Amino acid sequence: MIRKIANSARDYAWGSKTLIADYFGLPATGEAMAEVWFGTHPGSLTYLAEEPGRTVLDLLGGQPLSYLLKILAADQPLSIQAHPNSAQAIEGFARENAAGVPFDSPSRNYKDDRHKPEMIVSLVDGFEALCGFRDLAETIELFKSFGVSATTFVEALEEPDGLRQAFNLAFALKGSLGEITAELASKSALAARLEALYPGDPGIIVALMMNHVNLQSGEGLYLPAGNIHAYLCGLGVEIMAASDNVLRGGLTPKHVDVAELQSVVKFVSSPIEILEPKPILTGLARYQADCSDFALYRVDVTGATVLADLKISGDSILLCDGGEISISDSLGEHLMIRRGEAALISSDAKFVSLAGSGRAFLAC
């Protein structure tokens, strides 16, 4: 079974009014278009393009997908955040349920009992992100270069478990960081950008402790549980386990639970690992990630390249980001999708073939 699917853009404040509309050739709404979700997550149920009153979840008989695919467009930084592993999610969800924390409460940390590893692949050159803590020695030298204004943070970083100590110090000084972050903004372009949006925010200190990366088109990042990260700007395709568990650590007006975030974050230096798609067949490449909840492939078909009789594991979503792609399956069904369109390919077909002239991302 193949069905064209669609969804409305979510208008988060950090989103872009132009990136999604310009790249995919979609009508601009005049509002920020931050994310478009494709999946069965109740936060924004995807519907059938030809039957807007019927959702993908309806079509699948109420059986949710294990993953959520998104288009993400950011003009401003998203919050610094991390996601729990499975054990942490199960425990945190049960704890908040037992405490009677309403699901719609701003102070709710765990919306479900699932982990949330995720992957982002840039659609344009210059997708900017913060990802994990940089080498500790490099961070110490950076903060030393800021002079006397950062002395207390240098001292914290030089203590045992220095990353955690400096992180805790930033939040302990919340409310009195204004002079420090303003001084850092005069010495660091990144701090200046963040200070302009969130003056005196502890997240500015945390951001300066993190790896700062610019992805080129087609490059990706995998963000497992415990990885602290933030997307700063750009357009990408994001895939994640179907969870809404986010623990925030600054650069946001939303709820920040420092103690809970600290229990989830891995306070270790981790070098950036930029993902490149690994070829499997001509026209088909996979972004490798140590995650059983999802797989993400890049598809490139031309008149000379046809992907015939692909065996796809589970219910899949194909998102076209260029040209047009013809989809057919072993049940005799056929569908054409063009740039900005997506299709659900259900698991009842034994194989799928892709042809035409275009690019796409295949999630399953």
Structure confidence by residue, pLDDT tens digits, 64-123: 999 999 999 999 999 999 999 999 999 999 999 999 999 889 999 999 999 999 999 999
Q: Provide the pLDDT for residue 240.
A: 96
Q: Provide the pLDDT for residue 334.
A: 95
How is the chain split into domains, by residue range?
A: 2-130+213-264, 135-206, 279-363
Question: Is residue 26 pLDDT above 90, yes or no?
Answer: no
Residue 248: active-site member? yes
Structure confidence by residue, pLDDT tens digits, 137-183: 999 999 999 999 999 999 999 999 999 999 999 999 999 999 999 99
User: Same CATH topology for 2-130+213-264 and 279-363?
Assistant: yes
- In eight-state DSSP terms, residue 117 is -
Fold classification of 2-130+213-264 is Jelly Rolls (2.60.120)
Q: What is the mean pLDDT of residues 228-250?
A: 96
Q: Provide the pLDDT for residue 349.
A: 84
Q: What is the mean pLDDT of residues 221-238?
A: 97
Question: Is residue 2 pLDDT above 90, yes or no?
Answer: yes
Nearest 5 degrees, angle CA 211-CA 215-CA 219? 120
Q: Which two tokens stand for residue 84?
A: 């729990």
Structure confidence by residue, pLDDT tens digits, 128-137: 999 999 999 9
What is the chain's mean pLDDT, rounded?
A: 95
Element (H, E) at 20: helix 19-24
Task: Single out the catalytic residue among 3, 248, 339, 359.
Answer: 248
Q: Express as a percent the part of the chain with pLDDT over 70.
A: 100
pTM over cut 0.85 = yes
CB 339 within 8 A of CB 323: yes
Distances (CA, A) of 240 to 63, 67, 193: 17, 6, 28
Structure confidence by residue, pLDDT tens digits, 330-364: 999 999 999 999 999 999 888 999 999 999 999 99
Question: Is residue 27 pLDDT above 90, yes or no?
Answer: no
In sign, the C-alpha dihedral spanning 234, 21, 12, 43 is negative
E-strand stretches of 242-306: 247-248, 278-281, 284-287, 296-301
CATH of 279-363, one of 3.40.50.2300, 2.60.120.10, 1.10.260.40, 3.40.50.720: 2.60.120.10
Q: How far apart are CA 327 and CA 21, in angstroms?
A: 24
Query: For residue 316, which of 348, 284, 275, 273 has the smallest C-alpha distance?
Result: 348
Question: Is residue 304 pLDDT above 90, yes or no?
Answer: no
